[in-house]
Structure 1
Amino acid sequence: MTQLTSRTPGGPPPYLRIVAEIRRRIADGELAPGDRIPSTRRIAEEWGVALATATKALTTLRLEGLVEARPRVGTVVAGAARPPAAPSEEPAQRPVQEREREQELSLDRIVRTAIGIADAEGLTALSMRGVAARLGVAPMSTYRYVPSKEELVLHMADAAFGEETYPAEAPEGWRARVELGARAMWRLYRKHPWLAQLGSLSRPLLVPRLLVHGEWILAALDGHGLAPTELFDIHVLIYSHVQGLAVHLEREAHAEAATGQSEDQWMDSRASDLQALAESGRFPTFAKVVGAFEDGYDLDLDALFERGLTALLDGLTPLVEGRRA
């Protein structure tokens, strides 16, 4: 892996060296029109830089017109390789095309483009300038629809949470309804891992479409004789189970980009440390359990979600159904 984490005296910053290398690959024909450009995470891994640096490099290439985003494909080489034009040398048609794109701009397009970036490259890769570059409009154009990145993220969260809806006819029984709601939330976090990084139990996101999910859970528990505090506590416990597991989806993606190692590779590189702990004699139960794994322990978040949800609802059943009796 090429390391670009520090700037050589008098040399260009790391992101410009990345831009120059990708530009060279395009010029030499290593990357042809339509070929995919490495993602932000792949650039961070290949060049040993932060995600923000990788994002800046891709944004620069987009602004130069060398690459473009294509739906369901990713970032690709835009056309015939060419050096970046000086401002006075830009084609006269470019401002006209840019104005046409701006006329087609809308809050929904901005939000959906931002969601695409966050899904593919993580929330840290998101910037107002990057969204504008992906849309092919002037950097300041997006600010006419949304005043800041923080406001954009709220719109993104609201749109994402609205992708799961509930049937008009609810299933029978409070437990079946709660399971339906919890699984809908888990699917959303699975699809958009960055969602779990937003808000906290003490400072929740106040967006309408998230509250739709909260309303579904609360309605499932209502009418069972629970005090308001008990009812809301149960709702928070169920939500925290979903979010608490989902938060590791984005963290693992960040860790893989930063270290260049998958989860399995990272564990393999620390096998000697694990063995030393197991053989120290200080943790006999841990050593027995770990030693019983024939092929190692497979951390399956989907399985953990289901097991945890079952255990949580089993434990809550006497409280919910006992009060109604």
Structure 2
Amino acid sequence: MSATAEQKLPPYAQVVADIRARIDARELRPGARVPSTREIMREWGVAMATATKALAALRQEGLVEAVRGVGTLVRDAPVATPQARGPQGQRVRPRPAEAGGGRPTTETAITREAIVRAAITIADAEGIDGLSMRRVATHLRVSTMALYRHVASKEALATAMIDQVYTEHALPEPPPADWRRALELALLTEWDIYRRHPWAVRLTMLAGAVQSPGLVENAEWMMKVITAQGRSPDEALAILTFVSAYTSGMALQATRAVVEEYEFGMDAEHWWRSRGPEFLRIAEQGRFPLTFSVSGPPDVHAIFGLGMKHLLDGFAPLIEGRGGSPQDLTAEP
């Protein structure tokens, strides 16, 4: 493409063309990290929205993929075929639906389970906002309509995803006899789900949560543990709401599913370190001596365990029916 023709492109398309040219010229080889949104903003002088749109376009072309905790990387080049040439012999890029991973034998070979697992893989790498039926179809290298034969909508897909991860982390039956040990197991299991799948926290909080058999079964298990101590179902749900809010809130602190648009999977430690220069500039002002006297980023995983211990200490009188009134949990203010 000539310089004159490239200048006529929208700003995001110019960025796409430049990065595509680097990939074609092997300046950026498979597995290499492409510029981040901030780097694109600095190098091309564009806004954040333009930079994120450019990375989205590159992903849709199948040229790059977001890798959790690493960044956006160049994908392995698709296998060249004689059909990958235009009528004048020019190279023709595969359509997005051809740019994903291994292609099933036929679209009829696609299963609901394969769709759900592909969606989980995408959400793990790119966040729930990067998920769409079209994106899943691109990953599986089938038409979008092929997905709708198995999943009615994106909302139904999100429900199936939550059901899958909670089913894979099903709590044991019967629960441990000791209520405290049982609730610790349940909270640590949910904590592990959120660390493996940071997007899940946005779908499982009570406000606007999806409802799936796996998720409801998890709640039923915990309520069974609490009601075994003599609490009513309403009281058990109130306690469950408290402890689940703690787990989801800590999960939001522990993992940033989206640090910048289309830069995914950066955990708390990486986020703190990535902001080092910014923190240094603030520290040099000398206004926050306590904040900048800490030895390093907090160990959120260790803090979660400590907080869980004290949280259950606080709830012990209510759960065991001593030194407090369980009815206070459900009383009108």
Q: Confirm or deny a common fold (TM above 0.5).
A: yes
Go from structure 1 to structure 2 and tell me whether the alpha carbon gap of 1:228 and 1:274 turns closer, same or farther (over 3 Å shift): farther
Go from structure 1 to structure 2 and tell me whether the alpha carbon gap of 1:148 and 1:252 turns closer, same or farther (over 3 Å shift): closer
Q: Is the 8 A contact 1:68 1:77 kept in 2?
A: no
Q: Which amino acid aligns with 1:304?
A: I
Distance 2:257 2:136 in 1: 24
Structure 2 unaligned spans of 5+:
1-5, 42-47, 67-72, 325-333
Alignment of 1:26-45 (within 5 A): 26-31=23-28, 35-36=30-31, 38=33, 43-45=36-38
Q: CA deviation at 1:253?
A: 3.7
Distance 2:125 2:74 in 1: 8
Q: Is the 8 A contact 2:137 2:147 kept in 1?
A: yes
Partner of 2:130: 125
Partner of 2:167: 162
Q: CA deviation at 1:251?
A: 3.4
Paired-residue identity, %: 30
Alignment counterpart, residue 14 of structure 2, candidates 10, 17, 33? 17
SS in 1 for 2:76: strand
Partner of 1:47: 40
Distance 1:300 1:159 in 2: 29
Q: CA deviation at 1:140?
A: 2.6
Distance 1:272 1:13 in 2: 31
1:55-84 deviations in Å (ceiling 9; x for gaps): 23211x23xxx6799xxx994222349997
Distance 2:87 2:167 in 1: 42
Identify the structure with the greater helix proportion: 1
TM-score (norm 2): 0.73
Q: Is the 8 A contact 1:193 1:246 kept in 2?
A: yes
Go from structure 1 to structure 2 and tell me whether the alpha carbon gap of 1:139 and 1:224 turns closer, same or farther (over 3 Å shift): closer
Matched, 1:263 2:272: yes
Go from structure 1 to structure 2 and tell me whether the alpha carbon gap of 1:83 and 1:44 turns closer, same or farther (over 3 Å shift): farther
Distance 1:161 1:23 in 2: 39
Alignment counterpart, residue 282 of structure 2, candidates 273, 276, 295? 273
- Structure 1 vs Structure 2 CA RMSD: 4.0
Go from structure 1 to structure 2 and tell me whether the alpha carbon gap of 1:46 and 1:133 turns closer, same or farther (over 3 Å shift): farther
Partner of 1:307: 306
Partner of 1:114: 119
Matched, 1:56 2:57: yes
Distance 1:133 1:234 in 2: 43
Distance 1:156 1:21 in 2: 36
Matched, 1:177 2:182: yes
Distance 1:271 1:36 in 2: 31
Q: Is the 8 A contact 2:56 2:262 kept in 1?
A: no
Alignment of 1:1-325 (within 5 A): 10-14=8-12, 16-31=13-28, 35-36=30-31, 38=33, 43-48=36-41, 49-50=48-49, 51=52, 53-59=54-60, 61-62=61-62, 75-80=75-80, 100-249=105-254, 251=256, 253-255=258-260, 262-274=271-283, 276=285, 278=287, 287=289, 289-290=290-291, 293=294, 295-296=295-296, 298-323=297-322
Q: Is the 8 A contact 2:137 2:144 kept in 1?
A: yes
Q: Is the 8 A contact 2:180 2:312 kept in 1?
A: yes
Go from structure 1 to structure 2 and tell me whether the alpha carbon gap of 1:226 and 1:312 turns closer, same or farther (over 3 Å shift): same
Q: CA deviation at 1:199?
A: 4.9
Q: Is the 8 A contact 1:162 1:209 kept in 2?
A: yes
1:18-49 deviations in Å (ceiling 9; x for gaps): 443343234323456xx23648xx65354245
Q: CA deviation at 1:9?
A: 7.5
Distance 1:44 1:319 in 2: 49
1:86-128 deviations in Å (ceiling 9; x for gaps): 599989xx99x98943122111111111111110111122122
Aligned length: 294
SS in 2 for 1:251: strand
Q: Is the 8 A contact 2:104 2:110 kept in 1?
A: no
Q: CA deviation at 1:204?
A: 2.8
Q: Is the 8 A contact 2:195 2:255 kept in 1?
A: no
Q: CA deviation at 1:323?
A: 4.4
Distance 2:74 2:159 in 1: 24
